[in-house]
Amino acid sequence: MSETTGPTEYEARAQKLDAVDELAAKRAEFVLDETVYLDGNSLGALSVAVPGRMADVVGRQWGELRIRSWTEGGWWTAPERIGDLIAPLVGAAPGQIVVGDSTSVNVFKALVAAVRMAGEGRDEIIVDAGTFPSDGYIAESAARMTGCTLRPVDPAEVPGALSGRTAVVLLNHVDYRTGRLHDLPGLTAAAHAAGALAVWDLCHSAGALPVGLDEHGVDLAVGCTYKYLNGGPGSPAYLYVRHDLQDRFDSPLPGWNSHAEPFGMRSAYEPAAGAVRGRVGTPDILSMLALEAALEVWDGVTAEAVRAKSLALTDFFLECVEAYVPEGRVRSLTPVAHEERGSQVALRCSGAGEVMKRLIERGVVGDFRHPDVLRFGFTPLYVGFADAERAARVLAEVLDEVPAGVPAQS
């Protein structure tokens, strides 16, 4: 801990920062307690609008209207309607996002469709070498099914790895372990210059920072909704298909919900027009409508305001960690440069598993990633500067108790 700057100075600064925070009032729209909740990058907090909405969906729409709710309750159009609510959060115009299925299923749809659109002679899929495991598993399976070679490449090295064989590049906008933000505009442009398509996984960026799908010409994108979008555990994911590609989008999962005449019950498949092509089977209505209610907290909020607070929060947290934590006990894996940082801070720490266990016991909830990483996610809609200061202070207290060199717990 610094000899010239004590905890009280940082506490006072946190109070002043919280007092002028334009997003501070949003905290009241979530169900929270005194816990410092820094795990919204895994599961967002519950919006106060959700329980009442779900009581209506279950009690009235399902309980009373029953089958009539597909039309009278708007169930049938929910995937596209909710997709249009997500669209401005990722920089997309309406009509390009459909909600449904899991991120993994949507990665599969996007990759196979991209290979089919890429055309003959393009038989290589490039995947982020440090990708979330599920994306890698799906990419490997998609490559086998399409006769492609799968090539893992570090995102920074993608431009040099592209060739006339490359069909599609699958990348994570933010690295789930380190919080590193990758260059979506530059890497998308590089893929296009090589004649390839770009598929982006937005799980750790949507709702935390501007994405700019339309602005940067992204071809396809996927993302979950239970992290920074606060849709609830297992809430449905989404698929973005750029307008001018929709008539060429050939889904490997052609279900009845994406048929041009879903109730025609024809044996031959004819895809619907637009983003509806991304649908497969019957939507998961309960979780989908919970997500719709959760998205109400974004009314009046811009991605730019969220980004500004996110950077200020993570800057302040890192400053507090540097001041409070003895030198050498932790090392940040998250880039200092704003243009390379998402909305989480990852600290490498000896005995990280035990450290996180004790942090949680003391009311600071983050998470641990094997073998030695502490992750702290900063959700600007409900995390404040006092939370950041307290988390750093409690971390220093816990590290005083856990000897350096304690092995990490799995």
Measured distance CA(249)–CA(239) in Å, rounded: 12
Q: Which residues, listed in sequence order, are joined to residue 36 by a DSSP beta bridge?
A: 364
Task: Tell me: pLDDT of 409 over 80.
Answer: no
Arithmetic mean of pLDDT over the chain:
96
Measured distance CA(222)–CA(102) in Å, rounded: 9
Which residue carries 């502490």 as its tokens?
374
**Active-site annotation holder among 101, 201, 372, 387:** 201
Q: Over the stretch 96-115, which tens digit does the pLDDT of each residue have?
A: 999 999 999 999 999 999 99
Across the range 135-148, mean pLDDT stands at 98
Task: Tell me: pLDDT of 379 over 60.
Answer: yes
Task: Tell me: pLDDT of 193 over 90.
Answer: yes
Across the range 116-123, mean pLDDT stands at 96
Sequence-ordered strand ranges (E) for 173-308 = 197-201, 220-223, 238-241
Q: How confident is the model at residue 148 (pLDDT cuts 50, 70, 90)?
A: very high
Across the range 183-206, mean pLDDT stands at 98
Task: Tell me: pLDDT of 408 over 60.
Answer: no
Q: Go through 229-259 and write b for each residue having 16 or more CB atoms within 10 A of its CB, e for each that does not.
A: bbbbeebbbbbbbbeeebeebebbbbebbbb
Using only the alpha carbons of the chain, give its radius of gyration: 22
Task: Give the per-residue pLDDT at 339.
Answer: 97
What contacts 77, CB < 8 A, 6 or more positions away? none
Task: Tell me: pLDDT of 135 over 80.
Answer: yes
Task: Tell me: pLDDT of 407 over 60.
Answer: no
Q: How confident is the model at residue 403 (pLDDT cuts 50, 70, 90)?
A: confident
Measured in residues, the chain has a length of: 410
Which residue carries 């089977």 as its tokens?
281
Does residue 375 have an active-site annotation?
Answer: yes
Measured distance CA(318)–CA(72) in Å, rounded: 50
Measured distance CA(142)–CA(305) in Å, rounded: 38
Does residue 227 have an active-site annotation?
Answer: yes
Task: Give the per-residue pLDDT at 6.
Answer: 58
**Active-site annotation holder among 227, 242, 277, 358:** 227
Q: Closest by alpha carbon to 354, among 393, 312, 406?
A: 406
Q: Over the stretch 8-29, which tens digit does the pLDDT of each residue have?
A: 899 999 999 999 999 999 999 9
Measured distance CA(347)–CA(45) in Å, rounded: 23
Between 162 and 404, residue with greater pLDDT: 162
**Active-site annotation holder among 30, 37, 108, 132:** 132
Task: Give the per-residue pLDDT at 32.
Answer: 98
What percentage of the chain reaches a pLDDT higher than 90? 96
Across the range 286-309, mean pLDDT stands at 98
Q: Closest by alpha carbon to 303, among 27, 155, 92?
A: 92
Measured distance CA(149)–CA(29) in Å, rounded: 47
**Active-site annotation holder among 122, 242, 375, 393:** 375
Q: How confident is the model at residue 404 (pLDDT cuts 50, 70, 90)?
A: confident
**Active-site annotation holder among 108, 176, 226, 324:** 226
Task: Give the per-residue pLDDT at 406.
Answer: 52
Q: Over the stretch 329-347, which tens digit does the pLDDT of each residue have?
A: 999 999 999 999 999 999 9
pTM (two decimals): 0.95
Q: Closest by alpha carbon to 228, among 377, 87, 50?
A: 377
